[in-house]
Structure formats: structure tokens, C-alpha cells
Structure 1
């Protein structure tokens, strides 16, 4: 991971992504909590969560077109500033009659995030090249995103409980401004191709590349199934910790152990991505993730569950790094934004589906059945990887 940090532009991009992700993560718990505090309505709170996913589902593919047409550095700065404006709107929602402003704010900040992510992923290759530093950069990004995603939501909830929504919004605004300042200092630019004159044609070009590229197509499907199961399991983590391990404190321990697994898995994932072909690296990681989930959710004691959580983080990072690095190395520069956006759109769709399906299955058939079904689907994703991804898919070169 240190290798990529030697590149100035990547240091700035990595800092921007980490800070922006943390700022956005602060809102995940705090905004729905604010909605519930204002309205007292579970339905209104649920609508807020639905609005969080809507931009990714609607704008995802178009975000890739924009990322491939505009200078990605300018695009990321613009989206950071849009994020600032959007979250500030939330401060005006003080009564049930004005709660619609929260929905508007969530749509705005979600749209900004959707435009930011494919541009940032595509620009990583421009910052570090496609040599050994690319794997290092993706490893660092994966670990940082994983750890921040675990830490930011509870931190936002704590700040909201102690200081109110104003403090959370202020922190999120500050994070976006820091991110914009870092990106503005980057020197690497991607040649602008102008506004798309034929948006649907540009979308077809990106989808056409996925159809023609068996590895990318297979990874898109297999990764979608894998993330579907992961989302369901994540949604069931709190009920599992409370009912089987003793309470919310134990859930916090599990999340800490998972973060430790991400850190341990960082150097391992870099070696795995370079040593094995993408099919082997991804499928093996998915099998190990399924096994770790099964061990954790069938554990009879907290220590066993904690060991399983650590073991889960290691292959979890490897899967992310192998998929992302292969795509960046093997996708033409002019299509990289659209291909990244396709993966991110599928990720948003299956994350929403899994977050709904896991609890629904638990209500219908019980928590143990739901947990083990999701573990089985995780294992199924490995079989799909072996089936759809060609055996001769190249390994990610480190030299």
C-alpha cells in the first residue's frame, strides 16, 4: 500500500476519497434519526432510506458517461460542492411539514456521490498508471473504504445524539470541502471529450464492451450475487448480535474485528491479486467469505464469532481488489467510467435488494435460516465466478 502513497496525485485522491466517504457515512444514521425525531414516523424514516438508493439506481449508468466525457478532476470537485449544498438543505427541515426538504437533500447528496465514485475509480489509473502501484492503490482504497464504512455511521449517530443534526451536517460539509481542496491540487487531467451528444449511444458503447468482454461480464454477474448475499448478511448482523451474542456492545466488537480483518488482509490481497488469475482470486475469496460468515453466524460464543469476523475481512478485501484492479487494467481508458458505473449501479441495486430480502426472510422463516441461506448464496457466487469467468483470464501483473 505504501507504494501508491509515494505518488503525490494519488495521495491527494486517496485523502479526498477517505474524507468524503467519512463525511457521507456520518449521515447514514444521523439523517434517518433526525427524520424520526421530527416526525415520529417509521414510514417517513423508511422513505428516507429509499431515497438514499434512488440516485444510484437512476443516475448510475449516466454517471459513467459523464466521467468518460469530462475532466474527472473537475467533475469530482463539482460533486463535492454539490454535496455541500445538498446536505445544508437538511438543516431547514424542522417540522413534519418541511420534512420533504430532507428527501430533497438526500437526493442531492446521493446524486453527488453517484457522480463522484466512477470518476474517482477511473481516475485512480490516471494517477498511478497501470503498473504495480495500481494494485497497491486499490488495496489501500478497499481497506480505507471498509474501515471508514464501519466507523462513520455509528460516529454520526453519536454526534447526532450529543450535539444534534447541525453538528453532523457541519462535519459532512467540512469533509466535502477538504475533499474538493485535495482534488483541486491534483495535476493529472484526463482529456475532455465534451458533453455527450448521444447519451444512449454512449451507454450502448459501454454495455457493448461488457457484452463483448467475457471476463468483465462474468465478474459483473458473480459480483452482483456476492454483494446481494453480503448485503443481506449485513442487515442481519445487528439482530444476530443482539439475540445470539448478548447485545449491541457485542455487535460493536464484531465490527471492530471485521475492521482488523481488513487491515490484515491488505498485504495479502495485493499478493493474491498478483499471484493468481482473477477467476481464481475472486472465487477463492468468495468461498472463504462464505465459510467465515457461516462460522460467525453459527458460533456458540463471542470469541469464535470475533475470530470469524477477522477471518472474514481478509478474503473480503481480496475480492474487491482483484475485481477492481482487473477492470482498471483491462478496460479502455475512454470506457472506464462507464464500466465502473455499471458495476456501481449493480452494487446499489443488489445492496438494496439484499437489505430488504434478508430481514424479510428472517421474519418468514427465522433468523438462523435467513443467515445460512445468505451464506449459501455467497458460496453460489463463487460457483458463478468459475462458470462465467474464463479460465485463462489474466492475472494482475505486479512487475
Structure 2
């Protein structure tokens, strides 16, 4: 715990973590409640897949390009603006009350996905600027704690909100969380803001050409730097599984476990309990662990527990083992997120971080869409359980790849040099 206190003394870090906790809690309220609400309203795994597809297509189309803009814009202002747009974009959900209005849900989720492409790389780029490298693992672990705490609170509230107030209450709660997050980010001290270099190309044609160059630069760096290349493969494999999981987990709880919306919220939120323990461990001793090895073995453990989660209903028909297994999987899940984010941040420079995260986000989005489409169709033909089991197998495979391919890496403990444009993409 001694590693946590020095990091948390920094006011700007406390503000960005608080903003993330508020916003993510609202996201989980909407995510958990809406996934169950849509499936209950339509009874179709394909409808669930289409909703998720609408949210991830913007990640493919805009992900890498948004990262280029993030490298040029003020990070704090970008995050505040994105939060406001995210809040406003939820309001059309107040009109959805029957299956024939699902198009509104798809349009809203697409809009939210577009705005999120500018917020996420901004946050990921700003965090390493707020702390020294010696505190970076701790800061990422605390950020991971946000994900777990928000999941624990938001998932339970999302199930209850879906049952009590339907989609109206879900949308209003999430919108309020975005506005609160924007206010907290706006309070980050001016000194913590990232400086932006004014463009040297005022003409539109020159600016477009520079954007194209910067976009290609981020793509090349992601594929030429060894650790980043392995991260791309890892994200492709695991994100297919995340697309499957996001599409079929609500149908799994409703149709396989025969549980209610409230129970679904509890099961989804249970992962955060283990995640809190894993995040605290990473925050306390993360700098003493080899990041690549810790990430790989965490992914392997994650896959094994997921396989147990999806296969146990073949023998036991109760919902309580799902809650227990979700608690257990949260522990390696928190370690995995912490060390993966630390590796990505340490192997990119400040000037290229936004576009690299954007490129990786686009790759992740492509894989999630592939998994979502596959789950929507295969869930109907092969069944929910066999398709979900592939998700656990994917994490096993991806974890083994990290352990083997990065076994000679120094664990990313040394931050990258501030390289020139040529050396950054040619490594």
C-alpha cells in the first residue's frame, strides 16, 4: 500500500480517477441494464449482436484517425467535450418502448461509439503525463480499480434500474454520470494539461496530407515495434472473445441459468470483487513484477476460469457458481489490464501515443465486431454455451503467445526514449 499514497497525493491524478469512476459507473448501469432489456424485449441474440455491432463499428472506422487528432488537440478539452456529447447522445433512448424501435438503440450506440473514440485515447495519453514512470503501474492499477468498482456498483444498479424504470432510467443515469465526469476533468490544473504544438500547415490540403501521414505513422509503429506487434495479436484474439461475451452473456444468464435481470446485474458485477483485490495487489507490488510475464499468466488464468464459468451449467443448474467464478476471474482480469496498459504506455512516446492507441483500438474493434457477428449467428445455430466456451479458449491461447513471444523482453520496465519520427517507426 505504500506505493499508492505518493501517487494519490497528486490532485490532478485524483481528479482524473474520480472522473473515470463516475463515468464508468454510469456506463455499467447502461451496459448491464440495456443488454438484458434488449434481449428481454426482442428474445433474439441477433438483436443483441446488432446493438453491440453498432457500438463497435465506429471504433473500426474512427479509432486510428481519432488518435491522430488526439495527438494534436488539448487532451483535457477533448475529454470534456466528448463527455458532453456522450450525455446528449443518450437522450433519444427515452423514446424506446417496443421492439419496432430498436433502430433508435442502434443509432444511439453508434453515436456513443463515435464520441468514445476521442475520449479513450485522450485519457490513455494523459495518464502517463500526470505521474512519474515509477508510479505508472500504480496509476494504471488504480485506474483498473475504477473499472472494477464501477462494474460492481453499476452492474447491480443497472439490473435494478432496468427492472424498476426501464430504458428511460438507464439513459438518464448514464447521461448524468457523463456530465459529472466532464466537470471533474475540467477541474484538472492547467499545469497538468498536455501541450500541443501549433500546426505548421495552415492550408487545408497540407493539413489533410499531414493527417494521412500521422495516421500511417501510428499504424507502422504498432506493427514494427516488437512488443506492440505482440499486443496487436493479443488484442485481436481476445477481442473476438469479448465480442462473443458481450453478445451472449445476457442470453446465457437468462436462457441457460434462467436468472432474472437483478441476478444478471449481480453476476456481471461480481467480477469487480476479485478485480479490486487484483488491482490493489498490482498497485502495491506491480513495479516488482515482470510486466510481460505477469500479463501472460494473468490471461491464462482468466481463460481457465472463464471455461469453468461457461461449462459448469452442463452439470449444475444453479446461478450461484457463476457469481463465485466471476469473483475469481476478476483477480487475473485486473492484473491483465494493468500490465497490458503499462506495456503499451511504456513502448510509445508522448508524441505518438494517441495515434498508436487509436490504431490498436481500431484493431480491437475489428476483432470485437467479428466476434459479435459470429456470436449473433452461431448462438442461434450451435447454442450459447459452445460459442461462449471459445472465449475462454481464446484467452488461454493469447496468454501463451505473450509468455512465449515476449519471454526475452525486459518486462517494459524502461520507458522508451523520446525518439525521432524516423527511429520511432523504424524500430
For this structure pair, what is the TM-score category when the shorter chain's length is used for normalisation? 0.7 to 0.9
* Greater shift in the superposed pair: 365-374 or 211-220: 365-374
Structure 1 partner of 2:29: 26
Structure 2 partner of 1:175: 177
* Greater shift in the superposed pair: 140-149 or 312-321: 140-149
Q: Is the aligned partner of 1:202 residue 2:219?
A: no
- Do 1:215 and 1:393's aligned partners in 2 also have CA atoms closer than 8 Å? no
Number of equivalenced pairs: 397
Q: 1:270 Cα shift?
A: 3.7
Distance 1:361 1:78, change over 3 A: same
- Do 1:77 and 1:180's aligned partners in 2 also have CA atoms closer than 8 Å? yes
Structure 2 partner of 1:50: 53
User: Which residue of 191, 196, 201 corresponds with 1:192?
Assistant: 196
1:278-297 pair list within 5 angstroms: 278-297=291-310
- Do 2:125 and 2:354's aligned partners in 1 also have CA atoms closer than 8 Å? yes
* Greater shift in the superposed pair: 32-41 or 199-208: 32-41
- Do 1:131 and 1:397's aligned partners in 2 also have CA atoms closer than 8 Å? no
Distance 1:105 1:281, change over 3 A: same
Residue deviations 1:13-41, cap 9 Å, x none? 11112222223333336667888999999
The DSSP-based 3-state class of the residue aligned with 1:50 is helix
Distance 1:160 1:225, change over 3 A: same
Paired with 1:260 and 1:39, the residues of 2 have a C-alpha distance of: 31
Residue deviations 1:29-63, cap 9 Å, x none? 66678889999999877654432222212111112
1:13-162 pair list within 5 angstroms: 13-28=16-31, 47-91=50-94, 103-132=106-135, 134-149=136-151, 151-152=153-154, 155-156=157-158, 158-162=160-164
Q: 1:138 Cα shift?
A: 0.8
Paired with 1:307 and 1:95, the residues of 2 have a C-alpha distance of: 35
- Do 1:283 and 1:386's aligned partners in 2 also have CA atoms closer than 8 Å? yes
Gaps of 5+ in 2: 200-206, 416-427
Structure 2 partner of 1:259: 272
Paired with 1:223 and 1:79, the residues of 2 have a C-alpha distance of: 25
Q: 1:125 Cα shift?
A: 0.9
* Greater shift in the superposed pair: 78-87 or 211-220: 78-87
The DSSP-based 3-state class of the residue aligned with 1:334 is coil
Structure 1 partner of 2:229: 217
Distance 1:94 1:223, change over 3 A: closer
- Do 2:309 and 2:325's aligned partners in 1 also have CA atoms closer than 8 Å? yes
Distance 1:85 1:253, change over 3 A: closer
Q: 1:232 Cα shift?
A: 2.5
Residue deviations 1:81-122, cap 9 Å, x none? 222332234446689998766554433322221110110111
Paired with 1:36 and 1:357, the residues of 2 have a C-alpha distance of: 17
Residue deviations 1:272-309, cap 9 Å, x none? 64233333112111111122123333434556554433
The DSSP-based 3-state class of the residue aligned with 1:292 is helix
Distance 1:72 1:251, change over 3 A: same
Q: Is the aligned partner of 1:380 residue 2:397?
A: yes
Q: Which has the higher contact order (CA 8 A, sep 6+)?
A: 2
Distance 1:169 1:104, change over 3 A: same
Paired with 1:181 and 1:217, the residues of 2 have a C-alpha distance of: 37
* Greater shift in the superposed pair: 192-201 or 233-242: 233-242
Paired with 1:283 and 1:33, the residues of 2 have a C-alpha distance of: 32
Paired with 1:123 and 1:72, the residues of 2 have a C-alpha distance of: 7
Q: 1:359 Cα shift?
A: 5.5
Paired with 1:39 and 1:363, the residues of 2 have a C-alpha distance of: 14
Paired with 1:368 and 1:47, the residues of 2 have a C-alpha distance of: 20
Paired with 1:365 and 1:108, the residues of 2 have a C-alpha distance of: 32
Residue deviations 1:297-329, cap 9 Å, x none? 343455655443332111111111111012212
Distance 1:316 1:12, change over 3 A: same
